[in-house]
Structure 1
Amino acid sequence: MRLASSWIYCCSDRGSRPRMAPSAVSRAVLRLEDDLGVRLLGRTTRSLTLTEAGKRFYERLGQILNDLEEVELEVKQLQSMPMGTLRLDLSFVFGKMHIAPALVRFAAQYPELNLNVSFNDRLIDLIEEGVDATVRIGMSNDSRLIMQHLATARYITCASPQYLAQYGTPTTPTELLQHRCVNFIFPQTRREANWKFEQDGKVIDLAVDSYLRFDNSEVILEAVIQGAGVAQLLKFIAAKAIARGDLQPILQSYAPQVGLPIAVLYPQKRYLSAKVRVFVEFMRELAATLKRVDVVD
């Protein structure tokens, strides 16, 4: 264990712990390699690089040491006072529109907790990137993660009152083929999204003939508010504009009952840290509030 700890010291400067002297580092690494029977460092006259074994050994030990530090904090506070740094990665639009405004209140509740928050829709490896929890729209297939369902995001088709007054209100999904549609394109494939409807219990994927296409839902929202045409968005994106009267839902009798799960995910551990526990509780309360105002289901 002592040699393994030396390997962590060799590869990083953890907090306020002093670095080991170079000679001590060299001796510790050589002894560790002899003990393991594998090379951890690739050596040349000018540089040292981690081997694949060295990289895996360091990453795994780093996780263990992080866990030990968190256990120390939890024991000291008896799991009652969240403290330290909470690293969050949030779904871009949902996080920006509905979580970020409430994080100031969350931070005020726990003054010993520091928040590091990023926003993106990239599928990240929480464990590899050192993220404590994430909120995502859609399912996760990562068996290393706990997924706590919060709510369901459903699709809603809408347009501005000005657009509908000028072009008329479609009464069936197929009538959208005669309308000016604003659509989402997937950044990775540049393909357009099919719009989802439901009739007689059957889900219909409709390929609309759009004339404006964006890979950002917030841009689509603003364009439709300005009267650019009809769009299908997740309800949590359009909800505030609908409440203000800037957008009007249409084709509601064809609205699909299927939706996308909104969930908070975090790595599986035997003991849930206090900081993750209070964030999960916070997200459950926030989801309940959003349900009451018809932002999510």
Structure 2
Amino acid sequence: MDKLQAMATFVRIVEAQSFSKAAETLSLPRSSVTTTIKSLERELGTTLLRRSTRTLSLTDAGERYYMSCRAILAEIARVEGELSADTASPRGRVRADMPGVIGRAMVLPRLHEFAQRFPGIELVLGLSDRPADLIYDGIDCVIRTGELADSSLTAQRLGELSWITCASPRYLKAHGEPATVSALNDHHAVNYISNATGRPLDWRFHVQGEDLAIAMQSRFAVNETEAYLQCGLEGLGLIQLSEFVALPYLKSGRLKEVLATARSSAVPVSIMYPHGRNASGATRTFVDWIAEIFEQSDFKRGT
């Protein structure tokens, strides 16, 4: 039995609170994960996990072993990271998650460059509007928008997003253009459903020095950015999305910004990853590369 692999598997199970989820994030069959834990418990001569069809918990011995395993694996990651930093070719696997629109516009077009510069790094990208949990999902780093509250992670600012209200010429021809925020009561809107809460996001504006959050009524609502954008392009109603996403369509004339003087305050875009000694050299290399491509782009920089 590979003891380090067994320790890593055990830690992953505890953090994911699931054999199946651990197997998924480790890209292993569930049967292999189960066999590894049984072999580990047999070799240690003690039970580490209490498990039933619905619950998973640590025994006293399991709790002590878990803390020791975490410390050992973190130290190994630190040493390997330092060694990787001393070489031109860091190695390892990085699981990263980010909003789909940012991934498609900023990251995917540059992956060929990444592959050439860092041939020793295997990259697994998750592109989704669903917020990922680094611990539960086994993610090494995430790109997130908005204010951040998770102090257990290191956050590096990449830039900021401005949200704008816009509509297609087809919609504006049929319904006219709202002159003020209060005039929105006379217009149709398409709402965006938050994947975190399952509820429509408020529409945000900045009027006379005050930030406003308005719950808009709508006939249509979606939970994915590309679908949301398409609804706007089809003239189904006003939409509110980031200037970064809307810019090509504003330039082509397929969308027009409205209520420009009431634009909401910009929100930060950050990449988050474990604190220094717990982040692998490959993860830190990927984070630095992400910061580099954002710096080189016309993405709006934060101040």
Could you say whether these structures have the same fold, taking a TM-score greater than 0.5 normalized by the shorter chain as the test?
yes
For residue 29 of structure 1, the aligned residue among 44, 54, 61 is 44
**2:93 counterpart of 1:93:** no
Note if contact 2:205-2:211 (Cα within 8 Å) is conserved in structure 1.
yes
Q: Which letter maps to 1:154?
A: S
Question: Once the 2 structures are TM-superposed, how far is the Cα of residue 265 of structure 1 from its aligned partner?
Answer: 0.6
**Gaps spanning 5+ residues in structure 2: where?**
12-25, 27-34
Aligned partner of 1:36 in structure 2 is none
For residue 275 of structure 1, the aligned residue among 282, 285, 293 is 282
SS in 1 for 2:276: coil
Q: Which letter maps to 2:44?
A: V
For 1:198 and 1:42, the matched residues in 2 are separated by: 53
**2:273 counterpart of 1:266:** yes
Output one character per residue of 1:20-40: Cα deviation in whole Å (capped at 9) or x when no partner.
9x99973x413xx5xxxxx53
Q: Which letter maps to 2:153?
A: L
For 1:200 and 1:76, the matched residues in 2 are separated by: 52
SS in 2 for 1:177: helix
The 5 A counterparts of 1:140-151 are 140-151=148-159
Greater CA deviation, 276-285 or 123-132? 123-132
Note if contact 1:161-1:246 (Cα within 8 Å) is conserved in structure 2.
yes
**2:182 counterpart of 1:174:** yes
SS in 2 for 1:210: coil
RMSD over aligned CA atoms reads 3.6
Question: Once the 2 structures are TM-superposed, how far is the Cα of residue 206 of structure 1 from its aligned partner?
Answer: 2.5
For 1:114 and 1:104, the matched residues in 2 are separated by: 13
Question: Once the 2 structures are TM-superposed, how far is the Cα of residue 248 of structure 1 from its aligned partner?
Answer: 1.0
The 5 A counterparts of 1:1-297 are 8=7, 26=42, 28-30=43-45, 39-40=47-48, 51-53=58-60, 55-57=62-64, 59-60=66-67, 61=69, 64-65=72-73, 67-68=75-76, 71-72=79-80, 74-75=82-83, 78-187=86-195, 189-256=197-264, 258-270=265-277, 273-290=280-297, 292=298
Higher Cα Rg, which structure: 1
For 1:133 and 1:149, the matched residues in 2 are separated by: 13
For 1:94 and 1:66, the matched residues in 2 are separated by: 30
Identity of aligned residues (%): 29
For 2:5 and 2:262, the matched residues in 1 are separated by: 63
Q: 1:103 to 1:173 in 2, by over 3 A?
A: same
Question: Once the 2 structures are TM-superposed, how far is the Cα of residue 171 of structure 1 from its aligned partner?
Answer: 1.5
Question: Once the 2 structures are TM-superposed, how far is the Cα of residue 97 of structure 1 from its aligned partner?
Answer: 3.7
Q: Which letter maps to 2:115?
A: A
Note if contact 1:11-1:58 (Cα within 8 Å) is conserved in structure 2.
no
Aligned partner of 1:46 in structure 2 is none
**Gaps spanning 5+ residues in structure 1: where?**
34-38, 44-48
SS in 1 for 2:151: coil
Note if contact 1:79-1:274 (Cα within 8 Å) is conserved in structure 2.
no
Q: Which letter maps to 1:29?
A: L
Q: 1:117 to 1:64 in 2, by over 3 A?
A: farther
Note if contact 1:183-1:231 (Cα within 8 Å) is conserved in structure 2.
yes
Note if contact 1:196-1:206 (Cα within 8 Å) is conserved in structure 2.
yes
Q: 1:55 to 1:165 in 2, by over 3 A?
A: farther
Note if contact 1:158-1:231 (Cα within 8 Å) is conserved in structure 2.
yes
TM norm structure 2: 0.75
Q: 1:56 to 1:77 in 2, by over 3 A?
A: same
Q: Which letter maps to 1:131?
A: I
For 1:136 and 1:259, the matched residues in 2 are separated by: 14
Output one character per residue of 1:164-223: Cα deviation in whole Å (capped at 9) or x when no partner.
233222211122221221111234544332211112111122333322222222212111
- Matched positions, count: 274
